[in-house]
Amino acid sequence: MTTVLIVDDQALQRLGFSMLFEQYADLTVVGEATHGAEAVRMTAELRPDVVLMDVRMPGVDGIEATRRIVHSGGRSRVLVLTTFDLDEYAYAALRAGASGFLLKDALPDELISGVRAVASGDSVIAPGLTRKLIDAFTDRMRSQNPDQERQLAALTEREREVLTAMATGWSNPEIAERFHLAESTVKSHISRILPKIGARDRVHAVIFAYDTGLVRPA
């Protein structure tokens, strides 16, 4: 059973999500929060598997709430919801520790799959939005970090290639085909890459690739 906390200041939006999740036996909504501060408190109390987080809310917004939840060290993972005109906020939320983001107009199956993926420890990014978002905001938000340069240097040539492919938006099957590898081998490379660069998941590996200049905006 995957437990979900819904965070949105719009009552109809929360109701819609709740009604959707009720249709699936493996998903259960354990609470609803109307703003970021309430989300942080309820996450600490309820310890949901996934926090479905809106970005723009009164008071503590979704970005700051995400940062507080992730930095608390708890087990809950954050999935941010955004719209096309909130790309910058979504990217900031990823840097704050969110495990992914989806558009609010995502199809129900896409949202359900995203929640399940995040709950299982994977990450999710709205299809077709990754490159647009990173191209638009990486140069402005890039931070210089000597530790990242050392982490990058620790990667093998093949690991760099796989990380570059990930950051370009390729899926595991596409990476396997490009480098003539088994998909299980690609997964093994990724499992070694993540701890070497200090990334929690695939999303943060992509951010690392752009931060270090391994991949640059088009």
- Residues whose CB is less than 8 angstroms from the CB of residue 71 and which lie 6 or more positions away in sequence, other chains included: 97
End-to-end CA distance of the chain: 41
Long-range pairs for 202-207: beta carbons < 8 A, 24 or more residues apart = 202/122, 202/123, 202/166, 203/94, 203/98, 203/99, 203/100, 203/123, 203/124, 203/125, 204/94, 204/123, 205/163, 205/166, 205/167, 206/125, 206/130, 206/134, 206/166, 206/167, 207/94, 207/95
Mark whether 159 and 73 lie in a shared domain: no
Does residue 93 lie within any of the structural domains? yes
Mean pLDDT of 163-180: 88
User: Is pLDDT larger for residue 139 or for residue 177?
Assistant: 177
Looking at 106, 136, 166, the residue that finishes a domain is 136
**Which tokens belong to 54?**
């809106």
Does residue 218 lie within any of the structural domains? no
**Do 39 and 12 touch, CB atoms closer than 8 A?**
no
**Which tokens belong to 20?**
């959707």
Mark whether 58 and 160 lie in a shared domain: no
Does residue 102 lie within any of the structural domains? yes
Does residue 91 lie within any of the structural domains? yes
Mark whether 97 and 154 lie in a shared domain: no
The percent of residues above 90 in pLDDT, for the chain, comes to: 49
User: Is pLDDT larger for residue 11 or for residue 200?
Assistant: 11
Looking at 136, 155, 170, the residue that finishes a domain is 136
Report pLDDT for 218: 53
Mark whether 151 and 64 lie in a shared domain: no
pLDDT digits (tens, 9 = 90+) for 130-155: 555 555 555 555 555 678 888 989 99
Residue 121 has pLDDT above 60, yes or no: yes
Q: Rounded mean pLDDT of the chain?
A: 85
Report pLDDT for 69: 95
Mean pLDDT of 106-111: 89
Residue in the block written with tokens 């690609």: 186
- By residue range, what is the domain housing residue 89? 2-136
Mean pLDDT of 55-78: 91
Tell me the pLDDT band of 128, cut-offs 50, 70 and 90. low
Does residue 216 lie within any of the structural domains? no
Q: Which of 134, 159, 158 is nearest to 211 (CA)?
A: 134
